[in-house]
Structure 1
Amino acid sequence: MTLTQLEIFAVVAARKGFTLAASQLKISQSGVSHAIRALEQELGVALFERQQGDIELTDIGSRLLQRAQAMLGLAETMRQEALDALGMKRGTLRIGSFGPTASVRLLPAILAAYRQAYPGIEVHVDEGPDRQVLQWLQERRIDVGFVVLPEEQFDTCPLLEDQMVVLMPTDHALAQHPAVTLKQLCLDPFVLTEAGSAEIVSRLFLAARLQPRIRYRTSQLLSTLEVVARGDGLSIVAQSSLPLRTTLDYVQRPLDPPVMRTVGLAVVDERIISPATRAFIELARTLPRNVAD
């Protein structure tokens, strides 16, 4: 098998189609089909199930895809280590980001400095929920990802610490309190945002043996803010995820006792990361205080 075959295999799996893969790889569809067929023949297993034009990975195909992505990652590391000797004039960096904290507060400033320092490195950014970023790391689809710490399965670097805050309408009775307990939140309808803090919030209530009256589940932070501003419920979110400027009418109060959250960068194995990835992490270490201001 060749690295080219493995790359085609990974792209077909990601795009879930031969035509889309051929377009991305800028080769013919027949070339994609031939590469997959040759790889399947060499391995002696079917990598994809083909039904009425749609394709899905087989069980063994899913397992082998992780191996292929790991091999491609190591090959890219070798290429970039060779390029490192030439001053990192070329290379690729794949970043996973989630939510406003990473995508708005942290990533833009880090990227600006990175592009200035390493203009020849081609940067790709994928955005999704924090759980998705963890999956991308496991699948080797990205080189480095922003995550909520701790994450014991990865090598990590903390960048920013903030606190979880309660959101409520400005005229709510709890707005007169300097801080709010979880028990007090159980008296009102609750808005659970799944944009990045859902697991933290759920664990808080579970540990306190309390059950919030969840009336809304939102996938976007803006939806949460709008529901709260209308007076339809209260919520808990990470402070750094809140917009710096907004026309929505709500207030925030810290939890009692305070609950902190740490956001950082994660890689699968720091010992084998590419020079481009290492440079991004080292640069990010120098910027979090300024970014968080």
Structure 2
Amino acid sequence: MTLTQLEIFSLVAELRGFTLAAHRLGISQSAVSHAIKSLEQELGVELLRRHQSQVELSDIGEHLLLRARAMLGLANTLRQEAADARGMKRGTLRIGSFGPTSSIKLLPEILRHYRQAHPGIEVHIDEGPDRQVIQWLEERRIDLGFVVLPQERFDTFALIEDQMVALLPRDHPLGKRSALSLKALCDDPFVLTEAGSSELVSRLFNAARLQPNIRYRCSQLLSTLDTVSRGDAITVVAESSLPDTPEPGYVKIALTPRVQRQVGLAVLDQRQASPAALAFIELATHLHSR
């Protein structure tokens, strides 16, 4: 068993295809197939089931994939620690990011300083809903991720705090209020943003034993803002996720009682995190402790 075989297995499982994995790795499809077959023969189990152009993990394949990614993560940490001894001139850092708060408000400044300090580190950024970032962390697809705190299953590092606000169309009858309760937001059509803090919004209503009238679900915040601006629905979002628009088509109103949101970084296990990941965390916390 080799790390190359495990890397190929992990990529085939992620992309659900031999051809896509071969293109990503820059090798032939036959080389990918040979690596998987050799690994299956050595382990004595079927890792992947082939279905025409796509593949899916077997039950044991799903279990062993987590082990394989853990081994690859430790191997990457080993390489990073060796690189750290040489001044961390080379390496890879995989980051998971959700919504405008992390992807637009936080990441650019952190990455600018990080590239200056560690120009040899190759940074990969995967973007998805907050729950997707959690899953990527658990599956070891990323080294660290931006998350909404608290997250007790990970080692976390707080960065910023903002508040949740209601967004209403500019001409909405409640638009002149200084604050709104969650109950006041349950009658109108509601649009839920799948990216960002959708899990937090759902938990807020559930904790209050309320049910918003969800009529729309948008994968991106910009689509949500457009839906509100057209007068089709109202919503609840994090204040720091809103763009700096001179005259938006919506009004922003605080919730009562106030609902704070904290965003930070998370790693599966700080003790096993690579030097590149730890350097990113140290820089990010330093920048946002000012």
- TM-score greater than 0.5 by the shorter chain: yes
Question: 1-side partners of 2:24 and 2:70: how far apart?
Answer: 20
Deviation of 1:143 (Å):
0.4
Letter in 1 for 2:141: R
Question: 2-side partners of 1:53 and 1:229: how far apart?
Answer: 43
| Residues 190, 51 of structure 1: alpha-carbon distance in 2 compared, 3 angstrom cutoff | closer
Deviation of 1:9 (Å):
0.8
Deviation of 1:105 (Å):
0.4
Kindly indicate whether residue 213 of structure 2 is the aligned counterpart of residue 179 of structure 1: no
* 1:191-230 matches, cutoff 5 A: 191-230=191-230
| Conservation of the 8 A alpha-carbon contact between 2:265 and 2:281 | yes
* 1:70-219 matches, cutoff 5 A: 70-219=70-219
Letter in 2 for 1:244: D
Question: 1-side partners of 2:182 and 2:22: how far apart?
Answer: 53
Deviation of 1:173 (Å):
2.4
Partner of 1:35: 35
Partner of 1:49: 49
Question: 2-side partners of 1:56 and 1:73: how far apart?
Answer: 22
The farther-off stretch of 76-85 and 179-188 is: 179-188
Deviation of 1:149 (Å):
0.7
The farther-off stretch of 155-164 and 178-187 is: 178-187
Question: 1-side partners of 2:168 and 2:200: how far apart?
Answer: 19
| Conservation of the 8 A alpha-carbon contact between 2:100 and 2:196 | no
Question: 1-side partners of 2:20 and 2:180: how far apart?
Answer: 51
Question: 2-side partners of 1:148 and 1:8: how far apart?
Answer: 32
Identity across matched positions, percent: 68
Question: 2-side partners of 1:54 and 1:193: how far apart?
Answer: 30
| Residues 23, 211 of structure 1: alpha-carbon distance in 2 compared, 3 angstrom cutoff | closer
Deviation of 1:122 (Å):
0.6
Deviation of 1:246 (Å):
5.5
Deviation of 1:261 (Å):
0.6
Letter in 1 for 2:215: R
| Conservation of the 8 A alpha-carbon contact between 2:158 and 2:264 | yes
Question: 2-side partners of 1:174 and 1:40: how far apart?
Answer: 62
Deviation of 1:102 (Å):
0.5
TM-score, normalization by structure 1: 0.95
* 1:11-30 matches, cutoff 5 A: 11-30=11-30
Deviation of 1:245 (Å):
2.0
Structure 1: stretches of 5+ with no match in the other structure: none
TM-score, normalization by structure 2: 0.96
Question: 2-side partners of 1:175 and 1:240: how far apart?
Answer: 20
Question: 2-side partners of 1:195 and 1:89: how far apart?
Answer: 34
Deviation of 1:211 (Å):
2.1
Question: 1-side partners of 2:246 and 2:215: how far apart?
Answer: 24
Q: Secondary structure, in 3 states, of the residue corresponding to 2:232? A: coil
Deviation of 1:48 (Å):
0.6
| Conservation of the 8 A alpha-carbon contact between 1:106 and 1:288 | no
